[in-house]
Copies of this chain bind each other. A is one copy, B any other.
Amino acid sequence: MGTARHRRDRPLDPAKIVEAAVMLSKQPDRHALSARRLGEQLGVDPTAVYRHFASMDELVKAALDAIWRDAARLIPRSLPWRAKLETIGHVFFQVIVEHPAVGIDAYRLSTNGPGEEAIVDMVLSCLEQAGLSDDHVVDFYAVLSSTVISHASAQAAERIETHEVVPPDERRWIEPPPNPVLVRFPSLVRHIDGLTSLDQPRVFELSLSVVLDAIESLTATAT
The chain A residues found within 8 Å of chain B, CB to CB, are: 104, 107-108, 110, 112, 117-118, 120-121, 124-125, 128, 134-135, 137-139, 141-143, 146-147, 150-151, 153-154, 157-158, 161, 173-175, 177-178, 182, 184-188, 190-191, 194-195, 198, 202-203, 206-207, 210-211, 213-214, 217
Contact = CB atoms under 8 A, between A and B. Distances in A.
Contacts of A138: 191, 194-195, 198
A8 to B, nearest CB: 34
Contacts of A104: 108
A31 to B, nearest CB: 14
Contacts of A182: 117
5 contacts: A107-B157, A120-B174, A124-B191, A142-B203, A210-B211
- Copies assembled: 2
A212 B207 CA distance: 12
Contact of A139 (B121, B206, B211): B206
A135 B207 contact: no
Contacts of A143: 203, 206-207, 210
B142 A173 contact: yes
A175 to B, nearest CB: 5
Given A139-B206, A146-B207, A154-B150, A110 B185 contact: no
